[in-house]
Amino acid sequence: MSEDKIAKFREIVDGSHSIVFFGGAGVSVPSGIPDFRSSKGIYSEKTGYTYAPEEMISHEFFEIHPDMFFNFYFSKMVYPDALPNAAHLVLAKWEKQGILKAVVTQNIDGLHQMAGSKNVLELHGSVHRNYCQKCHRFFPLEEIDKTGIPKCPCGGIIKPDVVLYGEALDQSVLEQSIRSIASADTLIVGGTSLVVYPAAGLIRYFRGKHLVVVNLGNQSGSFFGPYDCLTIHDDIAKVFMAVDKYNTH
């Protein structure tokens, strides 16, 4: 990891008053949560077909094959024992210090809140919120059966409050995310390639001074804007730990 880049990142953070963090799957990887898109999917003997991850977590698949949906969901997307890593913890600390205004995340694991962050905008929902499709009763993750199709005492299927492919994003969360990004002086993008929706679209609203991109891969896309861009290709937990510890004096 380049010391110069960490120093520069520290300098940007120290000079900022309204940081917004935008995060993707890579933020949770150091917490032991792999990107579900990297999974091979699941083979069905019933249909003789291997379903791709993106196909399995679509609204249509949930309706047609709820058994296979929940099998994939509980084995590849829900990690009840995962803990926040340095990135989550440092972001929560910056919010407490008043310099970070919001975390916008594509992750559904709730690790930012577990780390202490308060203003977390979950674009894709959360595994921690679950509702009966019939009576709308709420169930925390701990209370639902993870070995099959989770059912409410009323007989309805309990659906996770997670945005599936083919479903619309929560409009209010999306609007709050846009407002936060539009009023940020520094935008930190972490653990996402930025080339896919909605990341690519949201970044267009940024009008601040500094864009910092922290991503392990090097296919972050390119940015053209009225801001300067610092790119760090490394493990996000390591980068945040280094920035937190970096001594400016």
Stretch that binds Zn ion, among 56-64, 101-109, 125-133, 225-233 (CB under 5 A): 125-133
- Please identify which residue in 66, 156, 198, 221 interacts with Zn ion, judged by CB under 5 A: 156
Minimum Å gap between C-beta 144 and Zn ion is 12
- 128-147: which residues touch Zn ion (CB under 5 A)? 132, 134-135, 137
What DSSP assignment string belongs to 158-216? EEEEE--BTSPPPHHHHHHHHHHHHT-SEEEEESS-SSSTTHHHHGGG--SSEEEEE-S
Minimum Å gap between C-beta 1 and Zn ion is 50
- 9-38: which residues touch Zn ion (CB under 5 A)? none
Nearest by Cα to 100 from 22, 18, 178: 18
Stretch that binds Zn ion, among 106-114, 124-132, 175-183, 207-215 (CB under 5 A): 124-132
- Please identify which residue in 152, 181, 184, 194 interacts with Zn ion, judged by CB under 5 A: 152
CA pair distance 159, 161, nearest whole angstrom:
6
Helix, strand, or coil (residue 119): coil
Distance between start and end Cα atoms, the chain = 20
Minimum Å gap between C-beta 158 and Zn ion is 8
Nearest by Cα to 243 from 24, 94, 20, 96: 94
Cα atoms in the 13 Å half-sphere on the side-chain side of 162: 25
**Per rule CB under 5 A, count of chain residues that contact Zn ion:** 7
Under a CB-based contact definition with an 8 Å cutoff, are residues 182 and 204 in contact?
A: no
Under a CB-based contact definition with an 8 Å cutoff, are residues 44 and 67 in contact?
A: no
Q: What does DSSP assign to residue 104?
A: E
Q: What does DSSP assign to residue 52?
A: P
Is position 124 annotated as part of the catalytic site?
yes
**Residue 154 in the binding site for Zn ion (CB under 5 A):** yes
Interaction mask 96-115, Zn ion, x per CB under 5 A: --------------------
> Which of residues 41 and 156 has its CB atom nearest to Zn ion in the complex?
156
> Which of residues 17 and 137 has its CB atom nearest to Zn ion in the complex?
137
> Which of residues 17 and 134 has its CB atom nearest to Zn ion in the complex?
134
**Residue 56 in the binding site for Zn ion (CB under 5 A):** no
Counting every residue written for the chain, the total comes to: 249
Catalytic residue among 88, 124, 128, 210: 124
> Which of residues 132 and 212 has its CB atom nearest to Zn ion in the complex?
132
> Which of residues 73 and 139 has its CB atom nearest to Zn ion in the complex?
139
**Residue 157 in the binding site for Zn ion (CB under 5 A):** no
CA pair distance 59, 62, nearest whole angstrom:
5
187: its two tokens: 């935008």
Catalytic residues: 124
Q: Interface residues with Zn ion (CB under 5 A)?
A: 132, 134-135, 137, 152, 154, 156
